[in-house]
Amino acid sequence: MIAIIVTFSTVFYLIANLVTSLDIITFDDMIIDFIQSFISDDLTIWVERVTFFGSVSFITIALLFITALLLWRKKYALATFFVLTNGIGALLNKLLKWFFKRERPDILPVIIEKGYSFPSGHSMGSLIFFGSCAYLCIHIVKSTGHKIIAYVVACLFIILIGISRIYLGVHYPTDVVGGYSIGIAYSAVCILAFRLYEFKSRL
């Protein structure tokens, strides 16, 4: 867990130091041009549906629903972990956006978004949310097969949401990778803290 935290924190640090570099901007533009070459009216409808699953509205509603289920099943520690992980993660993303103040790309925006660009809130938020949902399955779901399915579905949502932000022209690829990197590092910290809590509670 510590290796994961150090590795992805380093990746985020390196990307953050390069986001204003001309080389990075050229790389971003190339990826945006490639992904947006597939733009069509029909595909855009589906991409907008996918990106909704990383929105504040969806995550908030899903967070409340899942937390209610956890409390109903008397999983108080997991409910606390779930709420704090996602809540503090959202605040961390706001803080990072304010700190870096990177403007959004203006190559071919399919939709209009307000606020700063780096790191991507949808990418970071979806990784934390769907990652924490998958982690809940370790404690609740007994079937190994179902646990694997949960992780695969979580990964698919995370990846597709990140791509959707590039397709829609509201984030640079490095915004998405930066969101993933800090999201993984942050999630690992939360999971490590929860596992330490579980260990101490057994003593």
**Catalytic site positions:** 122, 171
Give the residue ranges of DSSP H helices in 37-172.
Answer: 41-52, 56-72, 76-100, 121-140, 144-167
Name which of 47, 127, 67 is nearest 93 in CA terms. Answer: 127
| Backbone torsions φ then ψ of 22, nearest 5 degrees | -65, -35
| Backbone torsions φ then ψ of 123, nearest 5 degrees | -65, -50
Residue whose structure tokens are 């993303």: 93
